[in-house]
Amino acid sequence: MRPPVEELNFKYRLGLTNYAYAEKFIKMITALIDHNVSFTAPILEDVLEYLTGEAHLSVNKFSGARWGTFDYIPGEEECEKYFNYIKWKKLKSPKFSTSKKTI
C-alpha cells in the first residue's frame, strides 16, 4: 500500500505483486472500506477474476501477460493449496541416436 498523495486526491493506492496474497489483498480492501478509508486499487478486477478461477498465470516465469506471474514456492501449505491447479507443460525429452558418428 502506498501512502496518499495529492495526484490521487489523497487516496491510498493498493497493489499486488504476487497472486498468492490475493485473499489478503481482499481482506485489506474490506478493512479499508469498513473504516471508511479512501483508496484506489487499479488491479482489483484482475484479482477478483483470479480468485474466481478465470485467470491463467505463468508459474515462476515472467510472461509479461496481463496476469503476470504466480510465484509458487514448494512447501506443504502451498502444495496443498495450489499444486492441483497448476497445468504442467510436457517435458521435452532428448532423442538419442543409436548410430555412432565420428568427428
Residue pLDDT, tens place only, 35-86? 998 888 988 988 898 888 777 666 666 655 555 566 666 677 777 777 777 7
Query: Which residues make beta-bridge pairs with 69?
Result: 58
Cell digits of residue 43: 488491479
Domain residue limits, the chain: 2-85
pLDDT of residue 27: 95
C-beta of residue 15 within 8 angstroms of C-beta of residue 32: no
Query: Which residues make beta-bridge pairs with 70?
Result: 59
Evaluated on CA atoms 6, 7, 9, 11, the torsion sign reads negative
Q: How confident is the model at residue 30 (pLDDT cuts 50, 70, 90)?
A: very high
pTM attached to this predicted model: 0.55
pLDDT of residue 24: 93
